[in-house]
Amino acid sequence: MVRKTLKSFREKFPAQNIRPVSLPDTDVSKVRAKWGMERLQDGSIVGIVGGGPGGMACAITLKRLARERGIRVQTVIYEGKTYSGVPHYNQCVGVLSPPIRSLLEDQLQVPFPDHLVQREITGYILYSDNRHIELQDESEPSFAVRRITFDSYLLDQALQWGVDVRQSRVTDLELHPDRVILYSETDYLRCDVVVGAFGLDDGSIQMFERATDYRSPEFLYSIVTKIHPGMDYMAQIGNKIFAFLPSYRRIEFGAITPKYNHITINIAGKDINTHWMDTFLRYSPVRQILPSNDSYDHNSLFYFKGKFPISIAKNYYGHRYVMIGDAAGLVRPFKGKGINSAFQSGIHAAQVMMHEGISRQAFKLFEETCHEIIHDLPYGHFMRRFAILSTNYGLLDFFIHFAHQNQIMQNALFNSVSAHKFYREILRETVRWPVLKDAFRSFYKYYGAKFHQAETK
């Protein structure tokens, strides 16, 4: 039966009489655009869930590139937080690291907000249980800011670029082959593509996991508080961040960051709570830095708890959606540079949407642009585990002792704490035979002396 049908078809429609159907170029473009195979066009709409640094960077870049192409792209940011009138806390300490000035001024064409800088950070002091070392170099300093004022500044810049910012939370979304639907507390938006820039917000994660194959990254909890000790104390504390790797198994690291009129204190770990922040505040090296109890009331301290990623999210892009910054896990897994990473991933995502397309295949190029962070993850996980083992078994005291004698080890500690270099670079520079030979020799002397002291007691 099938053979007879085919024979009849060939007799009625000889091959030479069959002509391919050609569509006008404009119709082809419309079909490609409808199914997300085309780059953003005149009249395209982009919805961005989250108005932090990543979301703002993506929106501003879209507006800038659209202006260069001479097209109109409506960019809508949904942000539930208010930046004025109501206190707002963020687990991000608010340290802007190099090359932040270049990212803002050269890539986003946004002036660096020097007026928001509360303190220039010129180095770090790293503490173990019994030792410490001062770490600094002559490179560009970091800048301590209040995150709420920095985010507000970015919001103002986005508005100047013509970004539509809506103070509302997205409550649900639908992904269709030819469109995306966003439902918010105040309105409804039909757009061509959605960008997830919501950090690790639980509600947004659940919403995207329902609608897509996205799965959130692994994370650590972070608890932040601050103390206003008076301006005399702030004048004496200096311009360095105090970093701690205590031997408490629940606390992976902690820090004291000086701002203008207060110090910000944060800890991070897999399973931390207020008890562990209280414990950290009583930790002997921390007590040496904190002001006396007379200058603040410990019971009145406000604690804020948040999360930050330590792995890449699964399926962080797909047809008509892409995640950036913390939502994608595109940060260093141990010491993050989260603001810089959010900026960079937001810029890269905008460039792909504007120049390549909004399909899953197009967003593979976004993954390629973030290859430096992705390729550094295994090295970062190794460094994180190595740091945990070193603190748990008392080896960090030795490494700090050795860094006082060896400049390469000192550089490695600085770059690990400051995030000035990728972990693979740090390991490449440090794990060399001359350094290892000096380390073994120093290790023998250090612990030989300690055993000798123990025997003579």
**Are 192 and 358 a contacting pair, CB within 8 Å?**
yes
Stretches in the chain below the pLDDT threshold 70: 1-37, 83-91, 294-295, 333-336, 450-457
At 93 the pLDDT is: 85
Q: Which of 180, 178, 207, 176 is nearest to 191 (CA)?
A: 180
**Are 178 and 190 a contacting pair, CB within 8 Å?**
no
How far, in Å, are 214, 215, 218 from residue 211 at the CA level? Answer: 8, 11, 20
**Are 310 and 233 a contacting pair, CB within 8 Å?**
no
pLDDT per residue as tens digits for the range 279-337: 999 999 999 999 987 667 778 899 999 999 999 999 999 999 999 999 999 987 655 57
Count of residues making up the chain:
457
- Quote the CA–CA distance of 58 and 49 in Å, as a whole number: 11
- Looking up tokens 């792995």 gives 311
In sign, the C-alpha dihedral spanning 174, 179, 182, 187 is negative
Q: Hey, what are 331's tokens?
A: 């940060």
- Quote the CA–CA distance of 204 and 49 in Å, as a whole number: 8
At 25 the pLDDT is: 46
At 11 the pLDDT is: 52
B/e letters for 348-385, b = 16+ CB within 10 Å, e = fewer, are: bbbbbbbebbbbeebbeebbeebeebeebbebbeebbe
At 21 the pLDDT is: 35
B/e letters for 170-199, b = 16+ CB within 10 Å, e = fewer, are: beebebeeeebbbebeeeebebbbbbbbbb
Domains and CATH numbers, the chain: 34-84+150-218+310-369 (3.50.50.60), 120-142+220-309 (3.30.9), 378-456 (no CATH)
- Write the DSSP symbol of residue 176: E
Give percent helix, percent strand, percent coil of the chain, each to the nearest 5: 45, 20, 35
